[in-house]
Structure 1
Amino acid sequence: MYIKGRYIVSACALLFLQQAMANAMDCSKAANAVENTICANNVLYELDAQMGTVYRGLMKASVEAQPELKRTQRLWLKARNGCVEDVACLDQHYREQLKVLQAQWKEVVAHQPSGVDKQVLDDLQNSIRAISKNDPEFALERALVSLSLKNTETTFSAEPDADQYSDKTHFPKTIPKGVSRNEWKALSATNFEADTALGPTSFTLRDLDSDGQRDLIVQTYNGGTSLYTSVGTYRRDGDKFTRRTPASDGESIGGVLYSTSDRGANQSVNWISIRGKVYAAYRDSGYGIDDVYLLSPLQVNREVPKLTVRYRYRLSIPRIQSDDDHKTTYKLKPDLHHALAQGLATVEEHTPDTAQERKPLCPIPESATDSEEYYGYGAGYYAIEPVADFPVIIGGECFIARMNNWFGTYSAKDGLYAQMTVRKPGEAEQERDYKVNGRRRITEISTSIGKPGGGAEE
């Protein structure tokens, strides 16, 4: 997560600082020791610029709150000026007030789910239930596809730098196919440098608010250990495109709408339309669960409609297995296949959420040098999801197994693709992997209103 945060914040911070400097103090008119100290210190100057951006944004967004906002800001300025030339004191005052103003900003600009949003949740839930009667495995996928946004879209990519060894890209210099001249003029008037600086970037024009003008979706591959991709949106605003809300802190507000990871998560997005409203249906999956957050694409999403689908699996061990190199196959012997299947049948009773008392999975012999090896399989790896640790009895001996999967990844051919890894306590060199398949069925569908999760941003 750290790498994801570092990449996304750097992109948003670059754009934010470009915007914020327009609201910075005019140092040519510095009138006292406090202002001279701020102008002489780069950090304080940037904090003052951020303060100006957030304050002006609040004044514009909440007319009724202007008198109280002005009053509290005057009191803060008086307290700030008491620091005189003390840089540490000034830094602390700015950071504390910025947090206060940013919290107010979120309250003002955040989208509040309405009655329509709740009706949309009911519609989606009813659609899934109806489809599941005939297709209990892919009811969610089919429901989302049936609601796909059908208006015209145009996608084009940022162009690579002339230097073949550079990772930097830049916005196209000529009008892409499918872009109108009016749209090209607005695109050319908008600064996308912060988006293209981080890596391969694509731009999609699509009407996201049903006003007859196409808005903009910007998708940037950030890379990193978890292969992150971030997506932001811009509203068509007259002769230019404007980020969904003016940035207030350089991070979540007005920046990334959502991000997806291609390693260490199972996340995807469907652009859908229900009851005349457009949503980015952000899906964050795991073993036995799909969480779908309905994000308003051009607003700040502090609380959103959420749909949760839960599954139960019928797990099986294929008799035909692949060798470690996956180039050849072999057939499990009947006794081994039976032992593995018996162990697999206990997965549900060994999943972590059963909250059962911690007990060793295999008997601990007096000769054991590390008793912890008998309680579980051991450390996992972030790119796969550990489902359960359980015992497997093979030839009268107790082995410890772990079932892993790829965060609920599911296909029509194999269903759930998972893996059982088996080892004998104290003998790691005897570790062996076996393929596991599973077919699912929906056991529960629920709805709620809450904070976005996964890589969905506020």
Structure 2
Amino acid sequence: MYIKGRYIVSACALLFIQHVAAAGMDCTKASNVVEKTICANTGLYELDTQMGEVYRQLMKASVETRPQLKGTQRLWLKTRNECAEDISCLDQRYRERLKSLQAQWTEAVAHQPTGVDKEVLDDLQKRIQIASQNDPEFALERTLASLSIKSPETLFSAEPDADQFSDKTHFPKAIPKGVSRSEWEALSATDFDADTALGRTSFTLLDLDGDGQRDLIVETYTGGTGLYTFVETFRRDGDKFARRTPSSDGESIGGSLYSTNDRGANQSVNWISIRGKLYAAYRAGSYGVDRVYLLSPLQINHDVPIIEVRYDYQLRVPLTQHKEDNQKTFKLGPTVHRSLTQALAHVTENQSEASEQGTPICPIPPTATDPEEYYSYGAGYYAIESVADFPVIIGKECHLGRLNNWFGAYSAKDGLYAQMTLRKPGSEESERSYEVKGRRHLAGVSTSIGKFEENDDN
């Protein structure tokens, strides 16, 4: 994933990568063509450093598997050496091995859900079901809000750079309001340069482990096509704050607790307390479903408790539609309105996304020059979610229809805001769009333990 010219790897991918000089190959002892090639190439040398650090940390974290790990590393070195002076080959070998070791390390050190976590899931499921009896639209939101952490918090922001065109910010030079002297001394002893260098940064002091001392949440907005924000946590550790994961060389967000995507996703986080445990309840929405991942805020998360809330919708096409400028309106004719309404009957909770059809959506005429375009509406757009493709019959003509929405985004005033787009296959007529509204009600709640998945491209 690229953000503002930087390459950011997935969460946990940079957890133990330190400064290049800290653990790199000793090039004064390079004894073969492969080692000499690595030492002569900055990129390969950095990859060797990164892999060596993750390998050492994995050896510490997984004592039982050390013999097997040593064996696989020796085998990998043989395959690496087959590349000889081929830089591209070496680069690929290192990246593949680094990815494998990082995955093994994550498995070895990640927090494993306990019996309490499973009790929390059962408790949440019951609370949501009870809340749905009075509010079937917002049972999840009301439940999470009722569990919000009650301990006091203090929020302050990093200061902008003197260069008005710079994205870099700086940790405050003066003690912010609401920060105690002890907290300020601990904050001053902690290095936040890697976070603030990437964009607008805010800091929240909040007790995340119930020990009576406030910990730290660091939120960094990096922008990019997805308007990304990365969040990492720091535990209060005596006279300083200790990052949940060790930072990397200038790219600390690689080990973030979570990230949110404000264009091309529908995500939010509630900090909740239940059964004596604190969680970052990370909600990822899409059409017909909200998934909430319960993240332990100061630990590595891999397999986590998950609540899934499913919805059914009552969809309708408003008679009064807005024009493209969103200022003027127009009314649909009865024939078109009836056709659009009938087409919505094709959309059910089982059609969660548009896909290739086994049969054409619209009949293929003998004169068709491109029969394939009758099977699917076509490519979608990353910022909106394609729900389903279906036929729309207006008069005697068949049009390809698609229902889009903004990943289940929902409000009390407007409900689900969606859009039906139409195009006529085999024609150069421009696409037409119509507003679709929907009200939802809770259809089911289920629980599971599974892998934490945030942004699909992470």
TM-score between the two structures when normalised by the length of structure 2: 0.85
Residues 173-192 of structure 1: matches in 2 within 5 Å?
Answer: 173-192=173-192
Identity of aligned residues (%): 66
Look up the match of 2:298: 298
The 3 A distance-change label for structure 1 pair 18 and 187 is farther
Residues 117-266 of structure 1: matches in 2 within 5 Å?
Answer: 117-246=117-246, 255-266=255-266
Look up the match of 1:391: 391
The 3 A distance-change label for structure 1 pair 389 and 45 is closer
SS of the residue 2:106 aligns to: helix
Distance in 2 (alpha carbons) for counterparts of 1:49 and 1:430? 55
CA contact (8 A) 1:16 1:250 kept: no
Look up the match of 2:330: 330
CA contact (8 A) 2:282 2:293 kept: yes
The 3 A distance-change label for structure 1 pair 326 and 393 is same
CA contact (8 A) 1:24 1:48 kept: yes
* CA displacement at 1:107 relative to structure 2: 3.2
CA contact (8 A) 2:15 2:246 kept: no
Pick which of 341-350 and 246-255 moved more.
246-255
Q: Partner letter of residue 441 of structure 2?
A: R
Cα deviation digits, residues 47-98 of structure 1 (max 9, x gap):
5643564456456656x659x579949x969x79x97xx7779968977875
Distance in 2 (alpha carbons) for counterparts of 1:164 and 1:185? 29
CA contact (8 A) 1:420 1:433 kept: yes
Look up the match of 1:416: 416
Q: Partner letter of residue 382 of structure 2?
A: Y
SS of the residue 2:441 aligns to: strand
Cα deviation digits, residues 355-409 of structure 1 (max 9, x gap):
9962222222222222223223222111111111112222232222111100101
Look up the match of 1:441: 441
Distance in 2 (alpha carbons) for counterparts of 1:21 and 1:429? 61
* CA displacement at 1:268 relative to structure 2: 0.9
* CA displacement at 1:250 relative to structure 2: 9.3
* CA displacement at 1:185 relative to structure 2: 1.3
Look up the match of 2:345: 345
Distance in 1 (alpha carbons) for counterparts of 2:376 and 2:86? 50
The 3 A distance-change label for structure 1 pair 293 and 446 is same
The 3 A distance-change label for structure 1 pair 267 and 402 is same
Greater helix share, structure number: 1
* CA displacement at 1:329 relative to structure 2: 1.1
Q: Partner letter of residue 421 of structure 1?
A: T
The RMSD of aligned alpha carbons is 3.9
Q: Partner letter of residue 407 of structure 1?
A: F
SS of the residue 2:369 aligns to: coil
Distance in 1 (alpha carbons) for counterparts of 2:96 and 2:349? 49
Residues 91-102 of structure 1: matches in 2 within 5 Å?
Answer: 102=102
* CA displacement at 1:221 relative to structure 2: 1.0
The 3 A distance-change label for structure 1 pair 11 and 4 is farther
SS of the residue 2:410 aligns to: strand
The 3 A distance-change label for structure 1 pair 12 and 184 is farther
CA contact (8 A) 1:226 1:264 kept: yes
The 3 A distance-change label for structure 1 pair 61 and 369 is closer
Structure 1 unmatched runs, 5+? none
Look up the match of 2:271: 271
CA contact (8 A) 2:400 2:423 kept: yes
Q: Partner letter of residue 207 of structure 1?
A: D
* CA displacement at 1:270 relative to structure 2: 0.8
Cα deviation digits, residues 193-240 of structure 1 (max 9, x gap):
111111111111111111111111111111111111111111112221
Q: Partner letter of residue 269 of structure 1?
A: V
CA contact (8 A) 2:362 2:398 kept: yes
CA contact (8 A) 1:144 1:272 kept: yes
Distance in 1 (alpha carbons) for counterparts of 2:315 and 2:402? 14
Distance in 2 (alpha carbons) for counterparts of 1:417 and 1:26? 60
The 3 A distance-change label for structure 1 pair 191 and 87 is farther
TM-score between the two structures when normalised by the length of structure 1: 0.85
Distance in 2 (alpha carbons) for counterparts of 1:49 and 1:191? 22
* CA displacement at 1:285 relative to structure 2: 0.8
Pick which of 378-387 and 389-398 moved more.
389-398
SS of the residue 1:313 aligns to: strand
SS of the residue 1:119 aligns to: helix
Aligned pairs, how many?
453
CA contact (8 A) 2:11 2:257 kept: no
* CA displacement at 1:251 relative to structure 2: 8.0
Look up the match of 2:361: 361
CA contact (8 A) 2:353 2:387 kept: no
Distance in 2 (alpha carbons) for counterparts of 1:352 and 1:443? 15
CA contact (8 A) 1:419 1:434 kept: yes
Cα deviation digits, residues 105-130 of structure 1 (max 9, x gap):
32332100000010111111110000
Distance in 2 (alpha carbons) for counterparts of 1:421 and 1:254? 38
Distance in 2 (alpha carbons) for counterparts of 1:290 and 1:387? 15
CA contact (8 A) 2:159 2:171 kept: yes
Distance in 2 (alpha carbons) for counterparts of 1:161 and 1:8? 22
Structure 2 unmatched runs, 5+? none
SS of the residue 1:122 aligns to: helix
Distance in 2 (alpha carbons) for counterparts of 1:71 and 1:311? 46
CA contact (8 A) 1:202 1:219 kept: yes
* CA displacement at 1:420 relative to structure 2: 0.9
